[in-house]
Amino acid sequence: MAIFKGAGVAIVTPFHEDGSVNYDKFAEIIEEQIAGGTDAIIVCGTTGESACMSEEEHVDVVKFCIERVNHRIPVVAGTGSNCTDTAVHLSKDAEEYGADGLLLVTPYYNKATQNGLYAHYKKVSDNVNIPMIVYNVPSRTGCNIAPDTAARMCKEIKNVVGIKEASGNISQVAKLMSLADGKVDLYSGNDDQIVPLLSLGGIGVISVLSNVAPKQTHDICQKFFDGDVAGSAKAQLDAIALIDALFCEVNPIPVKTAMNLMGKNVGPLRMPLSPMEPANVEKLKKAMKDYGIL
């Protein structure tokens, strides 16, 4: 059974002005997401600025999220690292705290071979018992999971159940699904490609857009599942200008800016991320107003 189906939010991590985690605000936005119909919460992913957290902070944020959600919807913990042993330790901690699943980005910077990628995920799998989603985002990691490797992992590694595909390469995704024999839970990692990936057999999205539009993102998926493909496609296309604005600078700069514009007060970014350029803030404001969320 899939960890979740539908729209899972790649949730931001709110910070105080001094850079420490704002747990009170984090609790607020978790509750807003659940009330808004989000199907799952993905904590400590790229959008959550996990790369700028210490290991202690990382596991504390994961633990807090799991406890706050309290089994109302699934919680998927981002536990990837470019160091396999670190990924193992983070994954074991997340399992101990009660995560419903794990999201593990490909080892970045190291640029592992396909055999190295397989061995990396196999070692993590050997140390945990909960489902794992592999995260393929070569634009950020410099490393691409080939379709045959992804299909092999989902077939052979006991708890690798799916992939978050953010390569942007629809042809690659189609090849993966042709090789998968129904053994891959496919999630879109790009908000502008939700419907195309659903049409290839996907079961949802791990979404940045959901931070500011949880119901709308959920509805893109649900309409498709309900057979209203035209309605799903329209909802996808209606969101394109906002999605473009949310990615006009590196994620999560725009989405945190958007949430602050909405009065959610999620605080600053951690360096080396920097405040959004003024011209892009104006572009973001216009897209948010046109979409009806500002």
Whether 68 has a pLDDT exceeding 90, the answer reads yes
Confidence band for 102, pLDDT divided at 50, 70 and 90: very high
pTM of full prediction above 0.95: yes
In this prediction, residue 247 carries a pLDDT of 98
Confidence band for 256, pLDDT divided at 50, 70 and 90: very high
User: In whole numbers, what is the pLDDT of the chain averaged over residues?
Assistant: 97
What mean pLDDT is predicted for residues 124-131?
Answer: 98
The H or E element that residue 99 is part of is none
Cβ-contact 213, 242 below 8 angstroms: yes
In this prediction, residue 1 carries a pLDDT of 73
Q: Is 181 left (phi over 0), alpha (psi -120 to 50) or beta?
A: left
Whether 53 has a pLDDT exceeding 80, the answer reads yes
Residues serving a catalytic function are: 135, 164
Cβ-contact 184, 203 below 8 angstroms: no
In this prediction, residue 101 carries a pLDDT of 98
Confidence band for 150, pLDDT divided at 50, 70 and 90: very high
Q: Is 204 exposed, middle or buried (0-12, 13-18, 19+ CB in 10 A)?
A: buried
List domains and CATH numbers for the chain: 6-226 (3.20.20.70)
In this prediction, residue 276 carries a pLDDT of 98
Whether 55 has a pLDDT exceeding 90, the answer reads yes
Q: Beta strands of the chain (E only): which ranges?
A: 6-10, 40-43, 75-78, 101-105, 132-136, 160-165, 185-188, 204-207
Confidence band for 268, pLDDT divided at 50, 70 and 90: very high
Q: How far is CA 143 from the centre of its chain?
A: 17
d(CA 251, CA 215): 21
Condensed to tens digits (0 to 9), the pLDDT of residues 191-250 reads 999 999 999 999 999 999 999 999 999 999 999 999 999 999 999 999 999 999 999 999
